[in-house]
Amino acid sequence: MGLISLLWGIVAMLWMIVALIPLLGWGNWFLIPFAAIGAIIAALGVLLSRPGHRGRAKAGLVLNGLVIVVGIVRLGIGGGVV
């Protein structure tokens, strides 16, 4: 689960970079739930992994959390939050 969450976080990060381009900010509406699912997978990976094998899951959790925060801030700045 750690590898899946890490890859999910990388895809979300790339999508976030594209969504930062003006007129493509609508992508954040789809990006935030996508990253939230990745964060859930990462949290499950942290809970179900042995203590020495949690690095990938923690990295996925951090990446997905960062994407969620940046997406919410981007929607707030652009007036996309209703």
**Residue 82 within any structural domain of the chain:** no
Give 9-17's long-range contacts (Cβ < 8 A, gap of 24+): 9/35, 9/38, 9/42, 9/59, 9/60, 9/61, 9/62, 9/63, 9/64, 9/67, 10/63, 12/38, 12/63, 12/64, 12/67, 13/63, 13/66, 13/67, 15/67, 16/67, 16/70, 16/71
Task: Name the residue range of residue 71's domain.
Answer: 2-75
Give residue 82's pLDDT. Answer: 57
pLDDT tens string 19-73 = 888 888 888 899 999 999 999 999 999 999 888 889 999 999 999 999 999 999 9
Give residue 24's pLDDT. Answer: 84
For residue 79, pLDDT beyond 80: no
**Residue 69 within any structural domain of the chain:** yes
Give residue 81's pLDDT. Answer: 62
**Residue 80 within any structural domain of the chain:** no
pTM given for the model: 0.88
**Residue 50 within any structural domain of the chain:** yes
